Amino acid sequence: MNDLKIFAGRANPALSAKICDYIGIPSGKVSLGNFPDGEISCKIDEDIRGRDVFLIQPTCPPVNDNIMELLVMIDSCKRASAERITTVIPYFGYARQDRKDEGRVPITAKLVANIITRAGADRVVTMDLHAAQIQGFFDVPVDHLYAAPVLNDYMAQLGYQRDDYVVVSPDEGSIKRALGHAKRLGGSVAIVDKRRSSAEETHQENIIGGSIDGKVVLMFDDMISTAGSIVGAANLCKTAGAREIYVGVTHPVFAGPAIERLNASPITEMVFTDTIPLANPSLLQQTHPKFTALTVAPLLGEAIKRIHRNESVSFLFK
């Protein structure tokens, strides 16, 4: 592991520290700061010539600052003659604009992928992209990991029988994810008919598929932003007679009214991972005692180890 170097951006230092602990190497020394006008400064404080460098930086809020910091770090490593630069982006922001669904709008997922690649990233490690095909937006190898094993392990120890569950997909885009979880945890699959009216507002009117009455509902999503999608789906499940409602999400963005909405919802327990830091952790604990945070550090750490040793990463999907 001598030539492996891991550097953390400022987006999620706690996750980076856990990844380094898992691998058993110290975090690389880097000085990051801001000039008086807000521009980002970066100095890699150790020799990385010929090293296999991994930069850990989710592009979560403040999204633009975190992307720019990642680019500045890539450029520093490239100019310091790193042998290979892998960007570990546990949460890839701007991913939801992944196609032109009306005229004169950008495809930001492709734009950001282009910028990161052009800056000098040789490969990318990421987790639960909003749409799996975003992998193809990068012209370098992408290892796309899933938090599902971590979320499934947690749900499996709740003490219910496989027949107690119905896995509810909060929208039609998450059907494949719901089927995957149902295969491992049990239960039938139902789908919420979700219509989005704006970035903050969604409307849910029907549940298509299996019966919810008396069941333990499990819902999984890639992210919660304003919580409109998940809370709308949870309300519908409650009305349909759900006994309990458990939610598992990979990226807890919790933007705008999310905390208030989750707090007032019929969700029994909300489970999420540490791909991004919580915007306001103390508020969460005060308002909703049933938030549970799980770590994906071992999963990311194992992927980094395997990439460094040129070993299979798909092993982690099993």
- Asked if 11 and 2 count as a contact pair (C-beta separation under 8 A), the reply is no
Distance CA 138, CA 71 (A): 15
- Report which residue type is found at 84: R
Rounded least distance, CB 58 to ligand R5P, Å:
16
Question: Which residue among 143, 164, 171, 244 contacts ligand R5P (CB under 6 A)?
Answer: 171
Question: Which residue among 40, 191, 192, 224 contacts ligand R5P (CB under 6 A)?
Answer: 224
Task: Work out whether 237 is an interface residue with ligand R5P (CB under 6 A).
Answer: no
Nearer to ligand R5P, 87 or 265 (CB): 265
Task: Work out whether 250 is an interface residue with ligand R5P (CB under 6 A).
Answer: no
Task: Work out whether 147 is an interface residue with ligand R5P (CB under 6 A).
Answer: no
Task: Work out whether 202 is an interface residue with ligand R5P (CB under 6 A).
Answer: yes
Backbone angles phi, psi at 115, to 5 degrees: -60, -45
Nearer to ligand R5P, 256 or 298 (CB): 256
Name the burial class of residue 48, with classes exposed (0-12), middle (13-18) and buried (19+) by CB atoms within 10 angstroms of its CB.
buried
H/E stretch holding 207 reads: strand 202-209
Catalytic residues, by residue number, are 194
Question: Which residue among 28, 58, 90, 228 contacts ligand R5P (CB under 6 A)?
Answer: 228
User: Restricting to residues 72-111, which ones interact with ligand R5P according to CB under 6 A?
Assistant: 96
Q: Where are the beta strands (DSSP E) in 128-187?
A: 142-145, 165-169
Q: Considering only 107-115, 132-140, 218-226, 283-291, which stretch makes contact with ligand R5P by CB under 6 A? A: 218-226
Distance CA 301, CA 24 (A): 10
Nearest to 120 by CA among 96, 86, 90: 86
Task: Work out whether 127 is an interface residue with ligand R5P (CB under 6 A).
Answer: no
- Asked if 284 and 259 count as a contact pair (C-beta separation under 8 A), the reply is yes
Residues that bind ligand R5P (CB under 6 A): 96, 170-171, 173-174, 202, 221-229
